Structure 1
Amino acid sequence: MRAHGLPRPTEQLPDFLAALRGEKPSLVTAEQARNAVAFIEAVYESGRTGRPVQPAPVDLSA
């Protein structure tokens, strides 16, 4: 079952490898991946400080 329209973890590695080989586009965009990293970084910072933390804005123009 997909949660929120996202691929299951078991689909992600084969998809990633196929995308690296140029066989198809990735199921996860660069923006989605960066947003996930920003979210996890905010979770860790919040845990470290004990305060709410907003994820860093994502700028993919660079």
Structure 2
Amino acid sequence: MKGDEIVYVSEEQRNDTGVIDDIYDEMIEANMNFGGDVVFLPKGELSKFNGFGAITRY
């Protein structure tokens, strides 16, 4: 992450300090820090969404 953007790194940089290796985990933690809920669905349920879906409310 640089600023508010996701920046992809090379294979060699993958294990460097400060590199996020699991963006889904980071998004789940941020959501939960704001009191959001996280729900895991059975495999294949989100196939038309590339495996990830979000409902946002403000």
Compare relative contact order (CA 8 Å, sep 6+) and give the higher one, 1 or 2: 1
Superposition TM-score, scaled by structure 1 size: 0.28
Say which one has the larger Rg.
1
Superposition TM-score, scaled by structure 2 size: 0.30
Greater helix percent: which structure?
1
